[in-house]
Chain A
């Protein structure tokens, strides 16, 4: 390390090389739930080939993927499943929230839809659209490649721990006891 804090020539070159390799071989875990899933399949197919960006291997196993594309509406019933999949992925991992529903709940502001997956996990790229056209998803992946290369602008939210995500998903934040306590009436119960 030199006197001004510079990391030196070889580690920076190595760092660059590693990030270059990572960005050009992002293996997606396609968590396709609804309509955005169909557009994601269109992106993976021949006309808007995603394989040329290194996403050749679409393995449906979180252990082997490093990019999670959440395409479609995530409901409150599905959110523990999504969080478990995210927890099972190994570092380094990036998350793309594809479409309006996973970015913010979309047109569904109802009793069973999670208003954005950033309530339960940190998201790197949000793709607007309902559903975004395949060019939009490709643009997002190219932006993600920039993020990977520069290593900068990770999400504002710190990485949520499992406990914090659990708390966010809990009925009545912070008071998990009422879930198992029959003496207190729960919200929505007819009195």
Chain B
């Protein structure tokens, strides 16, 4: 079998070395300066125009789905952070919501508001890093430093909430691991005061900039029909005119009570995707301002004693609570049979968790529906006819996170 592969590769090389039609095979390999991680693209290039491209993934395949079959539901929350590591909070919450659906429990009001705060914060930092890296790939280094400052501010807030900057593991089945800190309101007020002004500054740097517009307008156009064909959702689809947002169309948590707009583009090129993301950051800031006002005081955890992780004082003082704590962590929560699919609007699109449970503390099959896989598949298609520098712009605008792509 291996001999056949090598023979066919040799044949391919010999066929391509025609003098009058020189076509060069360029491998944009897994170790790539565009800081997108482990993506590999092999292009057949004629001059500078890419005639054909094949994408290869799997360089970060860690077997997370297989691990779900040997870890309890709680233990797997840690792995969900490592999927879309730019917005880890969204993954945690989406997974935990899927398990709660299987358990048929409903979390408290306060918990739902905190989850919305987490998801919007994650959306802001993911969009910030996407725009920063996109700009960096095209040489606009200032935007990278500038936008990264706000990422650090958001990280400080997230660290105050749950103790960890990046791989948060904040959500728990039935609640959240910690309540919001006391100075959260003031931290958030400071964050929301400075962020829109910085976004405006970056827009002034980029939106009317001749170089930026030349490099991003009419580059990587995906029409509405193509988006639907590739199954794309999220800012990329919205920039092409597909008016679909799970927060508005299939609302979850407390999104029905929030007032926000869904941003749609017209053309579907890289410029539109950039504008859509910028506006979504502003909308998320608006949502966060509303959440901080509307969040009620109340219990954080669900009332079910078999699922709720008890407070440490109770564990040390009460026998029954000690036993519950022991059973939850040593054995796992007993989840009834059934299957559930829960999807949320992650910054990349529709992120779904499909859990098949045959009863017991471990799942039978957990499937992550990754938005990045479908996005990268459309990249193969977008590359054809584009030049190599355009390919770099398009890749930056698609926001491919390798952790989610390969799992």
Contacts and interface: CB of A to CB of B under 8 A. Distances in A.
Interface stretch (B77-85, B319-327, B362-370, B389-397): B77-85
Contact of A34 (B37, B144, B165): B37
Given A39-B166, A78-B30, A107-B79, A32 B37 contact: yes
Contacts of B63: 108, 110-113
B403 to A, nearest CB: 5
Interface in B144-161: 144-145, 148-149, 151-152, 155
Given A72-B37, A112-B63, A133 B152 contact: no
Contacts of A156: none
A77 B403 contact: no
A47 B152 contact: yes
Contact of B37 (A37, A81, A85, A182): A37
Contacts of B82: 34-35, 107
Interface string B91-134: 00000000000000000000000000000000000000100000
A113 B63 CA distance: 8
Contacts of A46: 145, 148-149, 152
Contacts of A112: 61-63
Contacts, number: 98
Given A47-B152, A60-B33, A33 B60 contact: yes
A113 B149 contact: no
A102 interface: no
B145 A45 contact: yes
Interface in B48-74: 58-64, 66-67
A131 B3 CA distance: 41
B65 to A, nearest CB: 10
B307 interface: no
B167 interface: yes
A34 B152 contact: no
A104 interface: no
Given A35-B85, A38-B86, A78-B59, 10 more contacts: A32-B35, A34-B85, A35-B166, A37-B37, A42-B151, A47-B149, A47-B152, A73-B60, A81-B31, A131-B166
Interface of B: 1-3, 29-33, 35, 37-38, 58-64, 66-67, 78-79, 81-82, 85-86, 129, 144-145, 148-149, 151-152, 155, 165-167, 402-403
14 contacts: A33-B38, A34-B37, A34-B38, A60-B31, A73-B62, A75-B59, A78-B38, A78-B59, A81-B59, A110-B63, A110-B66, A112-B62, A131-B167, A182-B1
